[in-house]
């Protein structure tokens, strides 16, 4: 199993540009989520999904969209990038929605918005 | 609002030393997890504790969940350079077992 994969590893955008961060998992996990990690702020939940076709907002959803058309894929879209979105983004998955389950993280995407 | 406080924030020690890091809250958690994150990587789960007073061991790492389930500690015996990383705790409430509350982490450097 590849686990949770994310692409790209690094990205530089200009203010106002849009892009999609890709996330895929091959473990047949129901629950997938996106976090951003910033110094002094820790891991903050952006959006999550409890299954294909079902998504919901986390703590910091503004400026981001998600969709879950398949169990495997959970892309994160930045609609109009802003410098405040400079961060490290992690996709994560777990077998079921309950947080008792082990959460698997991808390697992260390091995004810089100029 | 930061509901899980981790201390110390930074720790730099020599190889072979022992250390303890803490994760504290004023709230009761139904479960608590510890993750380690190495530079440039995502967090990796070390352990999940669910019972008050529970102690779990993972080689040189000992994890304890407080009796009241409001705090937890991670003790490392004879630290190795490979233990270097960011240690994160994350807890979930009984009323919302989908949501994880994250601490800011303890950044540990073990010098050879």
Q: Do B92 and A40 touch (CB under 8 A)?
A: no
Report, in angstroms and rounded to the nearest whole number, the Rg of chain A calculated over CA atoms: 13
pLDDT on residue A25:
97
A99:B99 CB<8 A: yes
**Interface mutation vs chain A, best among B35, B42, B98, most A CBs within 10 Å:** B42
Give percent of chain B above pLDDT 70.
98
Give pLDDT tens digits for A16-73. 999 999 999 999 999 999 999 999 899 999 999 999 999 999 999 999 999 999 999 9
Q: How far apart are the first and last CA of chain A?
A: 36
Sheet containing strand A4-7, strands side by side: A4-7, A19-25, A76-78, A64-66
| Nearest chain A Cα distance for residue B68, angstroms | 18
A2 touches chain B (CB under 8 A): no
**Given CB atoms, is A54 within the 8 Å cutoff of chain B?**
no
Interface touch B98/A98, C-beta < 8 Å: yes
Rounded CA separation B106/B112 (Å): 19
């Amino acid at each position: 199993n590849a686990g949770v994969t994310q692409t790209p590893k690094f990205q530089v955008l200009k203010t106002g540009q849009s892009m999609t961060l890709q996330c895929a998992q091959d473990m047949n996990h129901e629950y997938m989520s996106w976090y951003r990690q910033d110094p002094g702020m820790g891991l903050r939940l952006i959006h999550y999904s409890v299954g294909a076709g079902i998504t919901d907002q986390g703590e910091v959803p503004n400026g981001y969209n998600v969709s879950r058309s398949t169990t495997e894929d959970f892309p994160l879209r930045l609609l109009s990038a802003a410098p405040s979105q400079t961060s490290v983004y992690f996709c994560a998955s777990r077998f079921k929605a309950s947080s008792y389950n082990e959460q698997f993280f991808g390697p992260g995407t390091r995004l810089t918005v100029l | 609002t930061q509901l899980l406080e981790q201390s110390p924030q930074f720790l730099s020690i020599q190889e072979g030393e022992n250390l303890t890091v803490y994760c504290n809250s004023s709230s009761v958690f139904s479960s608590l997890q510890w993750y380690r994150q190495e530079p440039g990587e995502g967090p990796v789960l070390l352990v999940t504790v669910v019972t008050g007073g529970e102690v779990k061991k993972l080689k040189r790492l000992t994890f304890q969940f407080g009796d009241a389930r409001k705090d937890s500690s991670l003790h490392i015996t004879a630290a190795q350079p490979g233990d270097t990383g960011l240690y994160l705790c994350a807890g979930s409430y009984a009323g919302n077992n989908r949501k994880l509350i994250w601490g800011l982490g303890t950044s540990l450097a073990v010098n050879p």
